[in-house]
Amino acid sequence: MSAHRVRFTTLVLVSLLFCLAPGVASAQGKSRAVVIVPYDASMLAADDQWMGEAVAQVLSRGLAQHPGFVEVERAGLDPSAWDEAAVRALATQADVVLFGRISQKGTDVVVEPRLLDVKRGQSASLTPIAFDEGAFATGIAALPVAYARALRVPLPSGYEGRMEKAARLTPSLQALKLFTQAQMAADRGAYEDAVTLLVRAIEIDSGFVVANYVLGTVHAALQNRWKAAAQFRASMQLDPSMPEPVKALGDLFVYPPRQLFDQAIEAYSRAIDLRLFYSDAHARLGDVYARKGLCAESAKAYRRAGELNPWSTRPMEPCTQTHP
């Protein structure tokens, strides 16, 4: 099931209050595309370089909780070169890139967040943070809010807490390492390896919600739909407020041989209730309405998806009006 993606690490920033300038000042302006790439961890020991990808995962989960951010695919990045030169080469289609560097100073891990204004050709550094290696898994949870503040994205009441909660994927450093390695394995198409790593991560931290969800996406990629559905439901039980597994369950309802469109509509609608700005759920809802011949509903869902993610290039399902 190649349509199932097993990562969610690149985001587009849709901000009503954004304009990067020296000092990272802001003003009202148009929405801008923002890409997240793994931090450069080449200064760490080989066994610790997974931390660069882990930061990208944490940023993705945290920023996804804000209506100013929409997830898009990351592509074209050489994982051996995550320095600023590589970031500049990657970001030809973006307005802003979030990146950084991780190093070690004594027993401390030092995380240096940076961002790049592609159009202006200017980069800016955020305040570095340092903590003991054992606190890495929880320490990096502060990064999404730090970037939102640096970009002057409004943080209404409740958003900061939701972002930090979502960014705390697991308190276990070992579970986070296994999860991150699983994501990297899945990117290579090594899905069986990813399953093994994710199962181990969940054994260490049974409450690892995102690991359960991603294990479901990997099972879906392997065409193990019953196992995928079980993992999606497990993650829904662990965190009923998380919309991604609800939407993923809807995807399972759509694919042949049993195309359960009404159940899919229910799942996508529920995912949207959980996150009103979930653009992909709106787009999937448009697909299902189109297949049912409900063209007005389909057009409305597609229109909303396009408003939330104007950079999306996904095609729309053709719709032919049905009659009673």
pLDDT in tens, 75-109: 555 545 556 666 666 666 667 788 999 999 988 99
* Predicted confidence band of residue 25 (pLDDT cuts 50, 70, 90): very low
Indicate the DSSP class of residue 48: G
Lowest mean pLDDT among 23-27, 255-259, 266-270: 23-27
| 185-244 confidence digits (pLDDT tens) | 999 999 999 999 999 999 999 999 999 999 999 999 999 999 999 999 999 999 999 999
Question: Which pLDDT belongs to residue 18?
Answer: 38
Q: Nearest 10 degrees: CA dihedral of 216, 221, 186, 97? A: -90
Question: Which pLDDT belongs to residue 308?
Answer: 87
Which residue matches tokens 């390695």? 181
Taking Cα atoms as reference points, which of 157, 167, 59, 47 lies closest to residue 104? 47
* Predicted confidence band of residue 322 (pLDDT cuts 50, 70, 90): low
User: Given a cut of 50, is residue 1 above it in pLDDT?
Assistant: no
CB 180 within 8 A of CB 49: no
Residues of the chain with CATH 1.25.40.10: 173-308
Question: Which pLDDT belongs to residue 152?
Answer: 82
Taking Cα atoms as reference points, which of 251, 219, 66 lies closest to residue 211? 219
Give the fold, CATH level 3, of 173-308.
1.25.40
Other CB atoms within 10 A of residue 263 CB: 16
Distance CA 172, CA 137 (A): 6
**Between residues 10 and 89, the one the model is more confident about:** 89
Indicate the DSSP class of residue 151: T
**Between residues 106 and 249, the one the model is more confident about:** 249
| 108-118 confidence digits (pLDDT tens) | 999 999 988 77
User: Given a cut of 70, is residue 10 above it in pLDDT?
Assistant: no
Classify each residue of 230-251 as buried b or exposed e, where b means 16 or more C-beta atoms within 10 Å of its C-beta: ebbebbbebbeebbbbbbbbbb
CB 274 within 8 A of CB 284: no
**Between residues 71 and 122, the one the model is more confident about:** 122
Q: Which helix (H) or strand (E) holds 110?
A: strand 108-117
Distance CA 46, CA 51 (A): 10
Distance CA 159, CA 28 (A): 20
Q: What angle do CA 191, 196, 200 make, to 5 degrees?
A: 140
Distance CA 245, CA 249 (A): 6
Distance CA 50, CA 75 (A): 18
Question: Which pLDDT belongs to residue 107?
Answer: 87
User: Given a cut of 90, is residue 271 above it in pLDDT?
Assistant: yes
Question: Domain 10-167, CATH 1.20.140 — does that match?
Answer: no
| 305-316 confidence digits (pLDDT tens) | 999 888 888 889
The percentage of residues in the chain with a pLDDT greater than 70, rounded to a whole number, is 81
Distance CA 55, CA 323 (A): 51
Residues of the chain with CATH 3.40.50: 10-167
Question: Which pLDDT belongs to residue 91?
Answer: 62
Distance CA 170, CA 276 (A): 26
Indicate the DSSP class of residue 240: T
Query: Which pTM does this prediction carry?
Result: 0.86
Size of the chain in residues: 324
CB 11 within 8 A of CB 60: yes
**Between residues 186 and 323, the one the model is more confident about:** 186
Question: Which pLDDT belongs to residue 117?
Answer: 76
Side-chain-side CA neighbours of residue 281 (13 Å) = 24
- Please give the average per-residue pLDDT across 52-67, as a whole number: 93
User: Given a cut of 70, is residue 120 above it in pLDDT?
Assistant: yes
In DSSP terms, which residues pair with 129 in a beta bridge?
111
Question: Which pLDDT belongs to residue 83?
Answer: 63
Distance CA 97, CA 173 (A): 26
Q: What angle do CA 70, 71, 75 make, to 5 degrees?
A: 135
The percentage of residues in the chain with a pLDDT greater than 90, rounded to a whole number, is 62
